[in-house]
Structure 1
Amino acid sequence: MNNNKITIAIDGYSSTGKSTVAKQLAKHLGYIYVDSGAMYRAVTYYAMIHGFIDEHQFNKEALISNLQSIEISFKFNSDLGFAEVYLNGENVEKQIRTLEVSGFVSKVATLPEVRSQLVKQQQKMGKDKGVVMDGRDIGTVVFPDAELKLFMSASAETRAKRRYKELIDRGDDVRYEDVLRNVEERDYMDTNRAESPLLKAPDAINFDNSNMTRDKQFEAILKLVDKVIDK
């Protein structure tokens, strides 16, 4: 493998294993990994703890006026082998992965002000290439010139099963039906929002991993990466 550093943009539906493969690639290539979804989750968590969003209301103006006080960073944890998310200096990796945050994140992510603020930060993180970023609009909005773009998909049931297993393994008390409903609702919101909806970039490679193990998926994607780097 030569030293041509590239930008790898991975988009797709929720729970398609985007961040799993992005972490694997970043580790293997020695690239920076940025979980853009975690950034939206961190903003959502901030909104929740400040009382800007709950089941009954969403005070968009309050969140927008506080965006300047939200600082999101990633710090590599060598014990875990990946970077954890910090919100204003506090490790919030576990707090942002709950089903409750998942339930609000699409609403927060539809705000143009939130997206534009985070896209700026993401583009700054990737300016020197050698970055793997995953999300919903990385290949279309954040890095339209990325050398490799992947669009990940899998059936809603497959994705809900994966997400359910993750949450149960972590000790969360959740029902499969609720997880499936959350996956379907997020699909609808992600694809139908006015601001940067989830779209496959014309030059992205469609990658359906419904019937793939993590190892098989990694091998297949690594071949695509090598092909681009060796060009």
Structure 2
Amino acid sequence: MSFTVAIDGPAASGKGTISRAVADHFGLGHLDTGLLYRAVGARMLAGEVPEQAAQRLRPEDLGDPDALRGPEVAQAASRVAAIPEVRAALVDFQRAFARRAGGAVLDGRDIGTVICPEAEAKLFVTASAEVRARRRHRELLERGLEASYEVVLADVRERDARDAGRSTAPMVAAPDAVLIDTSALSIEEAVAAAVAAVEARR
């Protein structure tokens, strides 16, 4: 029997960390769907047509997540995610993973609304733009990358506007999603809130 957990939210809200922790806690598979778009974005930067890159994407293309974490790839991912043909090409990939034997946790922008509207548990993880920018800025510095907080904050706001404003599958909380604002929460507190929310749906 499959059990699907859909976790949505904006960049740097903590949904990736929470999703991995929830998957580990319940023994479920985990898919960071943002990596799909980052992989397509990286291929676009390398000169490929985004629609064709999405159609040819394979699980092994996600083998080195760190190579897909840079700010340039992140912006490219947000741009290709606004292309309806790219999203359509990746839907089946995500839905098949969601219904895998043993259950799954998927995190992204439209999991609870478009990819898995029938998910047994839905969470929407968010935080203020300023908090998210500070997290992303610290992460970039820890990886040895040059970064200005002001530039990171502008990028976060630009991505929010693009993700929430696109015509196809905009980022929005599902009506039945549990909202978790991590602005003032520790990682442990945020994970505990998510685990409790999922447990209530099991």
Q: Identify the structure with the greater strand proportion.
A: 1
- Describe the superposition over 1:72-115 as per-residue Cα deviations: whole angstroms up to 9, x where unpaired: x2xxxxxxxxxxxx41xx73312210011122221110111110
- In 2, distance between residues paired with 1:148 and 1:95? 31
Q: Identify the residue that residue 39 of structure 2 maps to in structure 1.
A: 42
**Residue in 2 aligned with 1:222?**
195
- State the Cα distance separating 1:70 from its structure 2 match: 2.5
Of residues 56, 61, 74, the one that matches 1:69 is 56
Name the TM-score, length of structure 2 as normaliser.
0.94
CA distance in 2, matches of 1:146, 1:27: 18
How far apart are 1:174 and its partner, in Å?
1.2
* Matched residue, 1:33: 30
Amino acid at match of 2:10: Y
Match for residue 124 of structure 1? 96
CA contact (8 A) 1:25 1:222 kept: yes
The structural deviation recorded for 1:67 is 3.5
Aligned length: 201
- 2: CA distance between counterparts of 1:167 and 1:108? 22
3-state SS, counterpart of residue 94 of structure 1: helix
Instruction: Note the residue ranges of structure 1 that are not aligned, 5 or more in a row.
Output: 53-61, 74-85
Q: Equivalents in 1 of 2:105, 2:67: separation in Å?
A: 23
* Residue of structure 2 equivalent to 1:194: 167
For residues 199 and 55 of structure 2, the distance between their equivalents in structure 1, rounded to whole angstroms, comes to 39
Distance in structure 2 (CA, Å) of the matches to 1:63 and 1:186: 18
TM-score (norm 1): 0.83
- For residue 5 of structure 1, report the CA deviation from its aligned partner: 4.9
RMSD over aligned CA atoms reads 1.5
Distance in structure 1 (CA, Å) of the matches to 2:5 and 2:133: 26
Q: Distance in 2 between matches of 1:24 and 1:67?
A: 28
| Farther off after superposition, 96-105 or 29-38 | 96-105
Q: Distance in 2 between matches of 1:119 and 1:68?
A: 10
For residue 27 of structure 1, report the CA deviation from its aligned partner.
1.1
Give the partner amino acid of 1:64. Answer: E
Partner Cα separation in structure 2 for residue 147 and residue 43 of structure 1 = 29
User: Match for residue 105 of structure 1?
Assistant: 77
Task: Provide the identity percentage.
Answer: 39
* Cα deviation, residue 158, structure 1: 0.2
Between structure 1 and structure 2, the one with the greater Rg is 1
